[in-house]
Amino acid sequence: MTRRFTGSFTQQEALSKSAIAAAVAVLQSGRLHRYNLLPDEAGDVAQLETEYRDWQGSKFCLAVTSGGQALQIALRACGVGPGAKVLTNAYTLAPVPGAIRAVGGDAVLVEIDENLRIDLDDLQSKIASSGARVLLLSHMRGHLCDMDRLMSTCDAEQVTVIEDCAHTMGARWNGMRSGNFGKLACFSTQTYKHMNSGEGGLLTTDDPDLTARATVLSGSYMLYERHGAGPAPEAFADARYDMPNCSARMDALRAAILRPQLADLDRNIARWNARYALVEKRLEAQDRVATINLPAAETHVGSSIQFRLPDFTPDACRAVLEAAASRGVELKWFGAQEPAGFTSAHPSWRYVPAQSLPETDRIMATLFDMRLPLSFSLDDCSLIADLICAAVGEVAS
C-alpha cells in the first residue's frame, strides 16, 4: 500500500493563549480603530510599531492593512507614479508587479539565476536599458541575493531599492537583517507568512521624510503624532499636504495578536529552519532533484522549500504533481501555463508589458514549491520528503 500524508498544508498553528487574551481585551473595549484611544493610551498598533522597529533594528516602522499595501505605499512615497519604470524580479508573486501597476508604474522584469535569486548581471543591463530608478526587490520564497553587490550596483546607478521582505522576516545577509539594505522594506503578516494576522503589513525605513509620506498615505489624517515609531512632527511639514489618504491603517485587533507572535518569532525561525534542513537533506538523496543552494552569507528562514527537476518535461512535471497529490502532498509548480491559487508566472500578468525572459522561463519550467507550516512535526517532514522522492522516482522510472 502506498504511504500517504494526511495532514493539511494550509493549517497554521493556533494562536497562543496570550494572543487570544490580547484579542479578547481589544474586543471587550470596542475600540478597534488605531486612533480610538483613551487619553495617554499608546494603543496596540503604536506599541507593535515600536516593538517591530526595535526588533528589526530600523529607525521607523509603520503598520498597515497588508503587505501589498505596504508595497504600494512605499512606491508612492518614493515618487513612483504613472509611466514610471520599476525594476523587479521576474520570479515573484503577483502582488509585487501588481503593486507597481496599481500606482501607475510599468514593471521591468529582471531574469533570475538557477538558485532563484535576481540575476545581478541582467539587473545591471536592465538599469541601463530601461532608465528605471527604482528597484522593488522581491526576496522571493526567502532567497537573498548577494546584497552587498546589489547595493553597490544600485548605489552607483542611483537606483532606490525597496525590499519586499514578505518571505524574509528575520533573514540576514552577512549578519544584517533583510530589510535594512534598501531605502524602505515591506513585510507581510498574511496568514501564510512568519506572523499571522490574517492580513497585515509593516513598513520600515531609516528615512524620516519617507516615513512621514508613508504615514500620511496610510491614512493618519493629522494624528501622526500618535504613532509609536514615527519621526518628529517637523518631518510632516510637507507630507501632510502633499500625500493622499489611502486608508490603509492596521487595526488594533490585528496588532494585538501580532505582538505576542513577535515575541516568539526568533524561536519559530529556528523551528522552520529545522524542518527545512530535514526536508532538504531527504530531497538531496533523490538524484533527479536539484535543491536550491543557500550561500554561506545568508541566514535563511525556511518556511517553504523549493526544488527543481531539471530533466523533466512539462508532462512529467504534471505527473509529479499528481503522484505527490495521490500521496497527500500538496506541491505547487511554477511551470504551469495557467495561474493556480497563489502560484503564477509572468506570462499570466497581462497588466505587465510582455517581456522576453528565456532564463527565467527555463528555470521556472521545472520549479516546484511547498509550504512548511509549523503545524508539521519533524516526523511529518520526514514522511513528506520521502513521499516527494517516491513520486519523482515513480514518474522517472
Task: Check whether residue 205 and residue 313 sit in a common domain.
Answer: no
Q: Of 152, 175, 151, nearest to 163 (Cα)?
A: 151
Q: Of 74, 110, 79, 106, nearest to 92 (Cα)?
A: 110
Cell reading at 300: 535563511
Task: Check whether residue 218 and residue 248 sit in a common domain.
Answer: yes
Cell reading at 295: 550561500
259, 291, 307 — which closes off a domain?
A: 259
Task: Check whether residue 286 and residue 229 sit in a common domain.
Answer: no
Are residues 76 and 217 in contact, defined by beta-carbon separation less than 8 angstroms? yes
Task: Check whether residue 170 and residue 312 sit in a common domain.
Answer: no
pLDDT score recorded for residue 110: 98
Q: Is residue 242 part of a domain?
A: yes
Say how far apart CA 90 and CA 356 lie, in whole Å.
Answer: 10
C-alpha torsion angle, residues 52, 54, 55, 58 (rounded to 10)? 90
Q: Is residue 12 part of a domain?
A: no
Task: Check whether residue 109 and residue 248 sit in a common domain.
Answer: yes
Q: Is residue 294 part of a domain?
A: yes
Task: Check whether residue 169 and residue 24 sit in a common domain.
Answer: yes
Q: In order along the chain (397 residues), what is the average pLDDT of each group of 10 residues?
A: 87 96 97 94 97 98 98 98 97 96 98 97 98 98 98 98 98 98 98 97 98 98 93 96 97 98 98 98 96 97 98 97 97 90 90 95 97 97 98 95
- In sequence order, the β-bridge partners of residue 164 are 138, 186
Are residues 86 and 110 in contact, defined by beta-carbon separation less than 8 angstroms? no
Q: Where are the alpha helices (DSSP H) in the chain?
A: 17-29, 44-56, 67-77, 95-102, 120-130, 147-156, 208-217, 239-242, 252-284, 314-326, 358-364, 378-396
- In sequence order, the β-bridge partners of residue 106 are 85
228 Cβ neighbours under 8 A, 6+ residues apart: 42, 45, 46, 47, 48, 49, 50, 53, 61
Q: Is residue 369 part of a domain?
A: yes
From residue 3, alpha-carbon distances to 132, 173, 276, 316, 327 in Å are 52, 39, 21, 21, 6
Q: Is residue 271 part of a domain?
A: yes
Residue 211: exposed, middle, or buried by beta-carbon count in 10 A (0-12, 13-18, 19+)? Answer: buried
Task: Check whether residue 138 and residue 167 sit in a common domain.
Answer: yes
pTM, full prediction: 0.97
Task: Check whether residue 295 and residue 169 sit in a common domain.
Answer: no
CA angle at residue 187 from 15 to 276, to 5 degrees?
Answer: 65
Q: Is residue 176 part of a domain?
A: yes
User: What CATH number does the domain containing 309 carry?
Assistant: 3.90.1150.10
Task: Check whether residue 97 and residue 240 sit in a common domain.
Answer: yes
Q: Is residue 10 part of a domain?
A: no
Q: How many domains does the chain have?
A: 2
Task: Check whether residue 32 and residue 136 sit in a common domain.
Answer: yes
pLDDT score recorded for residue 1: 55
155 Cβ neighbours under 8 A, 6+ residues apart: none
Q: Is residue 384 part of a domain?
A: yes
259, 290, 322 — which closes off a domain?
A: 259
Task: Check whether residue 240 and residue 290 sit in a common domain.
Answer: no
Say how far apart CA 207 and CA 69 lie, in whole Å.
Answer: 19
Residue 38: domain span: 17-259
Are residues 149 and 181 in contact, defined by beta-carbon separation less than 8 angstroms? no
User: What CATH number does the domain containing 92 carry?
Assistant: 3.40.640.10
Say how far apart CA 388 and CA 376 lie, in whole Å.
Answer: 15
206, 228, 259 — which closes off a domain?
A: 259
Task: Check whether residue 164 and residue 40 sit in a common domain.
Answer: yes
